[in-house]
Chain A
Amino acid sequence: MGTLTEEIFSRRLGRRVRAGDTVVAPVDYVMGHDVTTPLAIEAFREMDMPLWDPERVILVFDHILPANTVVAAGMHKQIREFAQEFGITHVFQEGICHLLVVEKGFARPGGLLVGADSHSTTYGALGCFSAGMGSTDVGVIFATGKTWFKIPQTIRIELLGQLRPGVYAKDLALRIIKQLGAEGANYLAVEWGGEAVRRMTMDQRLTLTNLTVDFGGKAGLIEPDVVTRDYLGETDVADLHPHNPDYLQRIELDVEQVEPQIACPPAIDNVKDLSAVEGLELDEVFIGSCANGRLEDLAIVAGYLKGRQVHPRTRTMVVPGSRAIYLEALKAGYIESFMEAGAIVMNAGCGPCLGRQHGVLAPGERALSTSNRNYPGRMGSAEAEIYLASPAVAAASALAGAIADPRRFG
């Protein structure tokens, strides 16, 4: 009985769990990356206990890959030594943690995962409950395999109708963020459903659950269906549905009315119709991230860039989200199209999203990114401007050297 969240926790704990309850639950997997894991290791060592299970800890090098400073290299070394000391096998340096957790099959319907990264909400597109936490929570899970949860109430978002050409999951997520505000789902779970979601590929669904944390959501969930089963390549996927759910709030959005959206500085919820800012010149375009660095995103971008040239004033960076995606994009000719168009293609990872390594912005510069964060200083100088939009908008804007509507490029 209940919401997807209540169903998942009730099955896991073998008793009826309701929103508002505080529970301690065992997780399937716990994930840390190169920036958050060193502090998690500190907390784990303070626990002074053996590692819970070396096959259920996932460690990913993605935020600073490869290391760009001696300090970063030292942190990487510390994580590698930790992995070796405890025999941790799931250690990856081949892409963004959130894409790898899904790609490698760790996220499954009915599962429970915790990641030391806010965008760990992403995995909920597979029908699991996954939340981002801090390093201390994750370090304690390293030791005990468990953590505590306050079972959240749920906002149900129904996306009705069919998307218009040039409009994608990213636009819908931004439109919802505009409506609910940056803390609209703080402490709450979000269920995404409705005809438009059922029609979406897994790549698009992952964009919805990824951006759920950007309006405060503790978890974003999508009911498993035939798309989920096909994606996992399995038929015996857990049958999981909301049963007589008591939602805190239910929101319906007619997606046919949604235009391409853009989040303007200085915050994710400063969302406008793209037409409001069309023509603003751009110094940088970044295509990638855990929001939009998947194969389908790269296919959309290649569709625009193939046989064209990016504008000379706009340095354009493409970062495939994982090695597997990079290889697929190579085989499909997308990477060739990007390179011939004059874009810079980088190794799989978080890339310029967090302004730590490359693609850093100077004061007064303006960037358009397909990522999920546009806080001042996120990609470099706090005096730079960051706009967030879909891969289609990013591709059109790279060609125009200014914010542009992809529907004009055909």
Chain B
Amino acid sequence: MARVFKLGDGVSTDAIIPGRYNVTTDRAALGRACLIEARPDFASSVKPGDVIVAGRNFGCGSSREHAPLAIKACGAVVVARSFARIFQRNAVNIGLPVIQCDGVYDAVADGDTIKVEVTSGVITAHGATYQGEPPSRVAQMIMQAGTLVDLVRTRGWAAIEEAEPGQVSRSDVAAR
């Protein structure tokens, strides 16, 4: 079971890791500064498996990969009503679990305990279940491999190139 850290709409990568704290590649240092001003209690109280539940456009702004790395360093996962494109792609690339789910947002409060099944995208809160949007086919391939580097290093681009273009549907928004 996971503790909910609830955030609002438009949480930017500047909020996740401000520019004064991302002049480093040290994961532990990034984790210590995660949400340092937007949610000062986060880094000190988050436990592995805990979940950020956020509103729309989570991770908007700068492309800094330090943002998903900071969250990953804390061991948290993210459930949001929607994600900014670059953040979502970065999160998938580095192996940070992110789930797009609109319905659960209004059903949980900060500090609630919920259950998040990262692989299936199923979230259980207060006895109700919510199904997150399925990741795109490419995102699934990256997630199965671990990271983008793992996928391309082991299978090359052919893995993605050989897939049928027509299989991708309009609702398939993850990691586009």
List chain A positions with a Cβ less than 8 A from chain B: 18, 20-24, 35-36, 38-39, 42-43, 46-49, 64, 69, 71-72, 75, 116-118, 120, 132-137, 139-140, 143-144, 146, 148, 150, 152, 182-183, 186-187, 216, 218, 267, 354-356, 373, 375-378, 380, 382
Contacts and interface: CB of A to CB of B under 8 A. Distances in A.
Contact of A118 (B25, B63, B66, B157): B63
A43 B69 CA distance: 13
Contact of A75 (B23, B63, B165, B170): B23
Interface string B29-69: 00000000110000000000000000011001111111011
B160 A35 contact: no
Contact of A382 (B38, B61, B137, B165): B38
A118 B62 contact: yes
Interface residues of B, number: 52
Given A136-B147, A216-B84, A35 B23 contact: yes
Contact of A216 (B57, B66, B89): B57
B160 A24 contact: yes
B161 interface: yes
Contact of B93 (A20, A117, A134, A375): A134
B138 A187 contact: no
Nearest to B141: A148
B157 A39 contact: no
Nearest to A379: B19
Contacts of A140: 148-149, 152
A380 B64 CA distance: 17
Given A71-B24, A216-B85, A36 B38 contact: no
Interface string B71-106: 000000000001011100110011000000000000
Given A117-B63, A134-B93, A187-B85, 5 more contacts: A36-B63, A36-B64, A75-B24, A136-B94, A137-B90
Nearest to A146: B157
A116 B14 contact: no
Contact of A22 (B18, B24, B160): B160
Nearest to A23: B165
21 contacts: A22-B165, A22-B168, A23-B161, A24-B157, A35-B64, A36-B63, A43-B148, A46-B149, A46-B153, A64-B23, A72-B23, A75-B24, A134-B63, A134-B68, A137-B89, A150-B136, A150-B168, A186-B84, A216-B57, A218-B85, A378-B14
